[in-house]
Amino acid sequence: MRDTLARSHQVGAARLLAEAAEDDLREARAAKSVQASLGAGAGPGGSQSLAGTETSALQWRGSLNVSQLLYDGGRVDRLADWRTQLAESARHGQMNLQEQLALNAVSLALERGRYRQHALVYAQYVRKMGCLVEALETIVRADRGRGSELVQARKSLQQAEISLAQSQSQLRQVEVRLRRLVGDSLPGAEGLSSLLLAVEPLERLVADVERASEIAALTAQAHAAQHYVDAVAAGGKPQVSWSINGTQSYGRGGTQGAVKNGSYALGIAVSIPLLNPGLAPATDAARKRARAAEMQRAEALEARRFRVAEVHEQAQASFERMRRTAAVLRDSEQVRNSTLQQWQYLGRRSLFDVMAAEAEHFNLRVSYVNALVDGQQLNANLLSLGRGVGEWLR
């Protein structure tokens, strides 16, 4: 899981988006800070007053403006709150992506363990059928009438070899997909069969759903939408700010020769909106989007809770199937041993009985592995739907 998160370009992109959201938040908060600007220009200029008109062939002009917002009805604060929740949503979005990648890595690791076990079982099956073929070859040399049994045993050996080759191919495919996540150095598969065997109570898993990063991101988006409603509504309130303005100009070659002019102003500015026909529709639109965001969160939360209940039942059924298969497997081991002995020493069983018992035994072992890994993957999925499989692993 660590290797996957370290290598993922998706995680890097999500982290940059979260950092960009933090920068947007700082920008929104800076709107109430002192603002300053400096301007300069050059070219012909002039001025007009009751004393007459003055012109300059070349004039240098400079201006300085310093201001700060004092009151705006809370619009900047609400915009900052909006950006805060968007940044929180981006952070949880990054965590949700990390959780998805972690679940994918865990599932592939378990899948790799599944096919490694398949290959081991089928390799043992091939060896068993190979021994049976060798025994029949010895028998057929002495009794040509049993040649059909040898043909049947060879057919079973070939089928076992096909199953082995298929499981090895599936193992290589899974390893290719796993290398895409973790790199060329694949982790060991030892000990995987002992992990994720205990299914937590359904009530606790359902309660953990609200801790999921996806739900937290949707919650932050709903809160952000509500703050944006307040920010839009505050656009119709008065604004108060203080400012200092100063200008200075120098001119030459005009009607007055060399001239020098300057001015400054210091004061409080008040802006009162009187008519803004678009404000009410904009506020209504923002309010409806906020309500839609709340409904989307509620829908996602409800769907995830039902998904937890469904996967919980599937996981329990898979582990129950594993336990029942283990019990049948123990009986199958006794049956195959007894059948082989009766065929070898007593002649009471046919070769077909022996091969059927062997096939049933090894198929049960594969079914046991499948039930085990299915249960582990479903259990990992359950954790991912709540507090996260990454947190559980850590």
Question: What are 4-55's pLDDT values in tens digits?
Answer: 888 889 999 999 999 999 999 998 888 888 989 998 888 776 666 555 566 6
User: In percent, how much of the chain has pLDDT > 90?
Assistant: 45
Interatomic CA distance for residues 389 and 212, integer angstroms: 11
Residue 386 CA to residue 369 CA, distance in Å, equals: 26
| Overall pTM surpassing 0.85 (yes/no) | no
CB 354 within 8 A of CB 132: yes
- Provide the CATH topology of domain 34-71+238-272: Outer membrane efflux proteins (OEP) (2.20.200)
Residues of the chain with CATH 1.20.1600.10: 2-33+72-237+273-393
Report d(CA 201, CA 303) in Å as an integer: 19
| Residue predicted with more confidence, 241 or 394 | 241
Q: What are 264's two structure tokens? A: 């400054």
Tokens, residue 72? 């705006």
Of residues 349 and 138, which shows the higher confidence score? 138
pLDDT score of 164: 93
pLDDT-based confidence at 347, cuts 50/70/90?
Answer: low
Average pLDDT over residues 362-382: 93
The pLDDT, as a whole number, for residue 137 is 82
Predicted confidence at residue 51, as pLDDT, reads: 57
Residue 349, pLDDT > 70, answer: no
Backbone φ, ψ for residue 258 (5° rounding): -80, 125
| Half-sphere CA count of 132, side-chain side, radius 13 A | 31
Residue 130 CB partners (closer than 8 Å, separation 6+): 157
Q: Indicate the angle between helix axes 213-233 and 279-341, nearest 10 degrees.
A: 180
Domain 2-33+72-237+273-393, what fold?
Answer: Outer membrane efflux proteins (OEP) (1.20.1600)
Any idea which of 147-161, 169-183, 275-289 has the lowest mean pLDDT? 147-161
Average pLDDT, the chain: 87
**pLDDT band at residue 388, thresholds of 50, 70 and 90?**
confident
Residue 336 confidence (pLDDT): 79
Q: Quick one: which of 366, 383, 218 has its CA closest to 301?
A: 218
Q: Which part of the chain has CATH 2.20.200?
A: 34-71+238-272
Residue 358 pLDDT greater than 70, yes or no = yes
Write out pLDDT tens, residues 228-242.
Answer: 999 999 888 898 988
DSSP state string for 282-351:
HHHHHHHHHHHHHHHHHHHHHHHHHHHHHHHHHHHHHHHHHHHHHHHHHHHHHHHHHHHHIIIII--S-H
Residue 348 scores a pLDDT above 70: no
Maximum Cα interatomic distance, the chain, rounded to a whole number of Å: 137
Predicted confidence at residue 53, as pLDDT, reads 66
Question: In the chain, where do the E strands start and end?
Answer: 35-49, 52-71, 239-254, 257-271
Counting DSSP H helices and E strands in the chain, the numbers are: 9, 4
Percent of the chain with pLDDT over 70: 93
